[in-house]
Chains A and B, each alone.
Chain A
Amino acid sequence: MSKTAAAHAKNLPQPARTADATRAPATPPAGEKPRLIRFIIPLAAFVAIAAVLGVGIKNSGTVGEIKSPLVGKPAPNWSLPVLDQPGRTFGSKELAGKWYVLNFWGSWCFACKDEHQELLKISSSSSVPIIGVDWRDDDGSARNFLDTLGDPYATVATDHDGRVVVDWGVYGAPESFLVNPEGVVVYKKIGPITPEEWNKNFASRLPPGLSDRKS
């Protein structure tokens, strides 16, 4: 908005040396009209800004949807320790060239428990790997969570200090990303994946071989 800046700058009083009789600050008689207009400029600029914000709202999508800067862009590189295998790390390198669903969860997350049932169904009905990132969690309770509720994940990686979570701009758990073989984020879902959500936004984007289990 450098235009506004210029407009505001015009409102500034001028130093007296440059501003004698003709442009002396606040000595009205000469040029009454332009002065008045000058004071309307901030209001006009604000109206223009408000209009842009209004259009921004119209374009901003539906309730609850947060646009991700990542969709359509290459996924951040990541590499994290694997929950079940000491010392082994897993990440974007291992997943290069594959479709995958990256699901951020934690045993502390209440909504993840709801989603878990759906993830189990998905993992049995389709062959796209679901990679779990267990976030800011204790490994013991994470393992306990998977032991009692079942494990839909191809691999579970752990992000203890939340570094990868921040790289991916995760807003809250659960959150899922669909990544294509070129490593580009194709879709992002905030909140639990529902069956409708899966069919409409995930399965439809996957090649037929992956969206349902072949055998």
Chain B
Amino acid sequence: MRPELGHFALILAMLLAGLQAFFGIVGPALKRDRWVSATMSAAAGQLVMVATAVGCLVMSFVDFDFSVRYVAENSNSALPLFYRITALWGAHEGSLLLWILLLAGWTAVVAIATQRLPRRFVARVLGVLGFLSFGFLLFTLITSNPFLRLEPPAPDGIDLNPLLQDPGLATHPPVLYTGYVGLAVAFAFACAAMLEGKTDSSWARWTRPWATAAWAFLTCGITLGSWWSYYTLGWGGFWAWDPVENASFMPWLVGTALIHSLAVTDKRGLFKSWTLLLSLLGFSLSLVGTFLVRSGVTVSVHSFAADPTRGTAILIFLVIAIGAALALYAWRAPTLKSNAGFELTARESFLLFNNILLVIAAATVFGGTMAPLIAEALGQGALSVGPPYFRPTFLLPILPLLALVSIGIHAGWKRGHLGDHARAILATLALAVALALAVVLGVFAGRHILAVVGLALGGWIILSSLVDPIDRLRRHLSLPRSILGMSIAHIGLGVAVIAISILEPFTVERDIALGNGQSAQVGAYDFKLIGTSNVEGPNYSAIRAEVTVSRNGRTVTTLFPESRQFWVRKQTESKAGMKNVHGTDLKLALGDDLGAGRWSMRAQIRPMITLLWLGPLLMALGGFCALSDRRYRTARATEPIPAGVAAPPGAAKEHAA
């Protein structure tokens, strides 16, 4: 019964989503206030139904109901409870269901948090979200129903893909999806504003906290994915420009542009049509990314499920949803007016350049991801695009962008008044360049020009971001959370830039051979074999090497790589010694016995890799900090009619759970 109940709940959810879309879009247009009110009820009902369906599927997993095909295909009687629950999004059907649940959740939070906004406008937002939800539910029910039964039931399950049996991967999709789906809220706000024919920029202020929250979740999700692929998969890299990775990176780049351009539209009433377009583009790229991952049209190491019928269905949905939104844009955007002017050195200009460069960066990533498809469509045969394309073409727009951050941060609205900040700008730049040269030449003893440039840019961003908060503190001025959040996020960007600038050129990987008491230099570190000893484990005996690692004559750590011989399995396994010393990963794997007490070893040094995880986390933290600003909360109390939207940070974070 339970799977049938879930299936039924899903059908009801689709009908309610359809009603939500109808009442929400048609009601305000016909000025029927009852219909407007009904939108809210439909949204609540939809959430209840979707949650019921998800609950049924989770319980089928928990109770080992192998008569459900999806459960039989993605779990096993030996699978621990934690993975039986995360198996929900272990394959296509369930992850689609998770997507729908998150969309319904975001919709509910929007409905609750926007009570002070004009009701017709909110109804339109919910209507657009209902339309998207309807599309996804219809798609799920037609092509990807997770509640199909097996006749006869399977005796046991096939098990969850072992690659997914890992805490990193188990938690990374929900966070990433929360970000993807969050962009749907910005999309819906933009569509609602266009449906209403709004010519002012109040919608931009209402959208801001939502866009920031979605962006922060997206940042966390991408970082988790990267961290997972580095530590668990042991690919050695943290980013491979794989189509699946690009699919999450493009919405992030556009989302970053969006949160900046929303600020301009909100504060100065400029860039209205451009901001609208970005709002549409962010979610559209999420959808296109989903399509690329799900349809099997691109070749990727971690393609999800390849099924052209599904691909066709997503494409149809894509064309309807994005096509309608862009048609609405072509119709409404020309009526928008931005009257205010600004000077070339004003903050507006810098944010304009920020937008242009970020969109160009997203376009180059998009081009590289699509190129194999375009080549195939034109009959040019298979074309493979990899890091040699992505790296330089991505750096081209990003390097000037990073430089502009540090100057633009000081620029005032409307008139730049950059002259007043000339001293701060030059002083931070000089300091950053000096530090970068000192680090590259002094610490790493390398002459890598791109590393110096990257470090200087990253350091400059950090120093510039500190100027304003320090100045405010010194003058005993208040430091609003929006400014604090912005500073934290920019510092995070600087940290990430520094991490990549160090990692790219100074990662060392070398095979060495050591006898007792001998040492070899790898990078800046000396690896010295003190000796080997035999140790006994619970079910193995091992040869353990003791290797001290020193730098400039000072011992930093001792690594104990082991070569384990299992008694029962009669098999040798190499257990690498790994330590993170001051943010640098030092890894040493014991290889073969070369005789005469000599051993082959593989040493890897990844300097400052901890910063790579810290940077994006700071960025996300900055985002959450900014959206908790009083500006969005007190606006409700002070401005009774069209007030600012508050996204209670707690409510937004609930989605991550």
Contacts and interface: CB of A to CB of B under 8 A. Distances in A.
A103 B374 CA distance: 33
Given A81-B572, A83-B571, A15 B344 contact: yes
Given A36-B334, A60-B297, A81-B571, A172 B161 contact: yes
Interface in B323-337: 323, 326-327, 329-330, 333-334, 336-337
A35 B331 CA distance: 11
Interface stretch (B266-274, B403-411, B476-484): B266-274
Interface in A143-180: 158, 160-163, 165-166, 169, 171-173
Report the interface size class on chain B: 35 or more
Contacts of B511: none
Interface stretch (A118-126, A132-140, A195-203): A132-140
B336 A47 contact: no
B315 A57 contact: yes
B159 A40 contact: no
Nearest to B362: A5
B270 A140 contact: no
Contact of A12 (B159, B309, B355, B568): B355
Nearest to A86: B570
B394 interface: no
Contacts of A93: none
A15 B343 CA distance: 7
Nearest to A84: B570
Contacts of A60: 295-297, 306, 308, 311
A69 interface: yes
A109 interface: yes
Contacts of A11: 273-274, 277
Interface in B258-303: 270-274, 277, 280-281, 284, 288, 291, 295-301, 303
Contacts of B235: 166
Interface string A52-72: 111111111111111111000
A8 B370 contact: no
Interface string B234-246: 1100000000000
A86 B373 contact: no
A2 B349 contact: no
B349 A15 contact: yes
Nearest to A87: B572
Contacts of A17: 343-344
Nearest to B356: A9
A13 B271 contact: yes
B217 to A, nearest CB: 25
Nearest to B66: A110
B312 A2 contact: no
A63 to B, nearest CB: 6
B521 interface: no
B601 interface: no
A158 B156 CA distance: 24
Given A8-B277, A50-B315, A66 B338 contact: no
A78 interface: no
A129 interface: no
B569 A1 contact: no
A76 to B, nearest CB: 11
B167 to A, nearest CB: 15
Given A13-B274, A61-B296, A86-B571, A42 B373 contact: no
A13 B277 contact: no
Contacts of A53: 288, 291, 295, 297, 315, 318, 373
B301 A166 contact: yes
A11 B359 CA distance: 12
Interface string A98-138: 00000000101111000000000000000000000001100
A12 to B, nearest CB: 5
A1 B366 contact: yes
B352 interface: yes
Contacts of A12: 271, 274, 352, 355-356
Q: Which of B367, B565, B569 has the most CB of A within 10 A?
A: B569
Contact of A111 (B158, B341, B568): B158
Given A47-B323, A50-B315, A15 B352 contact: yes
A161 B234 contact: yes
A8 B359 contact: yes
Contacts of B318: 50, 53
5 contacts: A13-B274, A42-B329, A43-B330, A67-B296, A69-B300
* Pairs of residues from A and B, 7 with the lowest C-beta to C-beta distance, nearest first: A16-B341, A5-B363, A56-B297, A139-B569, A110-B158, A55-B377, A136-B162
Interface of A: 1-2, 4-5, 8-9, 11-13, 15-18, 24-28, 35-36, 39-40, 42-43, 46-47, 49-69, 81, 83-87, 106, 108-111, 135-136, 139-140, 158, 160-163, 165-166, 169, 171-173
Given A50-B315, A63-B308, 5 more contacts: A1-B366, A39-B330, A42-B281, A55-B377, A108-B78
Interface of B: 72, 76, 78, 154, 156-159, 161-163, 165, 233-235, 270-274, 277, 280-281, 284, 288, 291, 295-301, 303, 306-309, 311-312, 315, 318-319, 322-323, 326-327, 329-330, 333-334, 336-339, 341-344, 348-349, 352, 355-356, 359-360, 363-364, 366-367, 370, 373-374, 376-377, 384, 565-566, 568-573
